[in-house]
Amino acid sequence: VEQRMLDAVSLPSVTQDGVEVILRANIEGINSAELDMARRYSAQGVGLYRTEFLYMQESRMPSEEEQYRAYKAVVENMAGEIVTIRTLDLGGDKLMNGKSGLFPMEANPFLGMRAIRFCLEHKEIFKNQLRAILRASAHGRVLLMYPMISGTGELDDANKLLDECRAELREKGVAFDEKMPVGTMIEVPSAATTADILAPKADFFSIGTNDLIQYLLAIDRSNERIAHLYKPAHPSVLRMLSYVVEQAHKAKIKVSVCGEMAGDPLYVPLLLGIGVDELSMASSLIPAVKYLVRAMKMSDAKKLVHEASKMDNAAKITALCNAFYNARM
C-alpha cells in the first residue's frame, strides 16, 4: 500500500463535494489479525462476516455455543461498530472439510445445494446458527443477512425460523437485540430483478457482485479458462445494480456492495454514481478506496454512470472508468 494512501486512512471518508461514503471490512473470522487490520485502516465496522469459514476447518458442525463465542468475540472486538453477520454460505466453492456426508457431489455446485438452500434443508443446523447470532446481538450492533436469496419464499421461510429462535430465547430469558436488522444479499439475478418485491421485506440489501456477475453472465467465478469473460463493467451488470439501488431507495432501505467490485478503485466510482450507500471490502483494500473517495466528486461519479449507460459494451465502460481513475490518482 502506498504511503499517501496509508496517510488517508485516519481522515474522513468524504468526497470532494462533501458526500460521506461508508467503508466497512469483509472478514472471515478465523484469526484476529483480520480485525486488527480492519481497525488499523479505520473500517466502519464489518459489512460482511463470512461465517462458513468457521465450519470449513472442521468435519463437524460447530455447536451453538462455539458459534456464539466466536461471534461475540468479533462483536466485542469491534466495540460498538456494526458487525454484519452472514448466515452459512456452504456449498458452491465453500465445502466442509470432507467426511460430513452433508455435501454429496454435484455436477453444478454453484447451481446446487448451497447457502440458504442448504440451511432451509437442514433446519437444526440453521437454527443453531440463528440462535448464536441472536445471542451475540446482545453484545453490540449486530446485523444479520442471508446469502443466495432468490425470492420471497426463501426469505419468508428463513425469517420464520428466525422468529422461532427469538421465541425460544425469550422463553429461556436469554438476552438478544429485539431490533436486530435483518437484510438479504442480492446475488442471484432473480432476487435482483424482483428487488421491488424483496425490499419491503428487508431492513437492508447487500449486493454480492461476485455471485451476481457469475450468475448474470453465466461465468463460473472459479474457472480460470473463462476469467477474461468475467466483466464487472458489462452493461447488464450496471443495469441490474441500478435497478436494485433504485428499488431499495424507493423502499427506504440502504444498499451496500460487499463483493470484490466494492474494493476495486476502478469500479468504485460506478457503484457510488449508481447510488450504492456503503462499500465493504477486504481491509487491505480500504486505503486505496478511501484515497480515491477523497479525490473524487460524487457529481462526477454520477456523470460517469450517465456516460457509461450510453456505452454498448464492457470494454468501453472500463475505458471510461480507467480515465476517471487515472485523472484522480
Asked whether the CA dihedral 116, 126, 58, 67 is positive or negative, the reply is positive
Does the annotation flag 328 for ligand binding? no
Binding residue per annotation — 166?
A: no
Is position 210 annotated in a ligand binding site?
yes
Q: Work out which of 181, 208, 263, 287 binds ligand PEP, going by CB under 6 A.
A: 208
Nearer to ligand PEP, 258 or 298 (CB): 258
- What's the CA gap between 300 and 318, in Å, rounded? 16
How big is the site for ligand PEP, counted in residues (CB under 6 A)? Answer: 10
Q: Contact between 187 and Mg ion (CB under 5 A)? A: yes
Which one of 57-65, 160-168, 209-217, 247-255 is the stretch in contact with ligand PEP (CB under 6 A)?
Answer: 209-217
Q: Going residue by residue from 223 to 262, which x/- string records binding to ligand PEP, judged by CB under 6 A?
A: -----------------------------------xx---
Nearest distance, CB of residue 148 and Mg ion, angstroms: 7
Among 184, 209, 247, 283, binds ligand PEP (CB under 6 A): 209
Contact flag: residue 260 with Mg ion (CB under 5 A): no
How far apart are alpha carbons 9 and 5 in whole angstroms?
Answer: 7
Crossing angle of helices 123-136 and 64-77, rounded to 10°? 30
Q: Cell 471490502 sits at which residue?
A: 281
The smaller minimum CB distance to Mg ion, of residues 185 and 298, is found at 185
Complex with Mg ion: residue 133 or 191, whichever CB lies closer: 191
- Where does residue 141 rank: exposed (0-12), middle (13-18), buried (19+ CB within 10 A)? middle
For ligand PEP, the binding residues in 186-205 under the rule CB under 6 A are 187
Largest CA distance in the chain: 59
Only one residue has cell 466485542, namely 76
Residue corresponding to grid cell 425460523: 161
Distance CA 14, CA 21 (A): 6
Cell of 96: 466442509
Q: Which is nearer to ligand PEP, 155 or 165 (CB)?
A: 155
Q: Kindly list the distances between the CA atom of residue 262 and the CA atoms of 47, 202, 243, 297, in Å, as whole numbers in the listed order.
A: 11, 21, 17, 17
Binder of Mg ion out of 47, 91, 140, 208 (CB under 5 A): 208
Q: Which of 186, 184, 181 is nearest to 146 (CA)?
A: 184
321 as an active site residue: the answer is no
Which residues are the active-site residues? 258
Binding site for Mg ion (CB under 5 A): 187, 208, 211
Binding-site sequence positions: 50, 86, 187, 210-211, 221
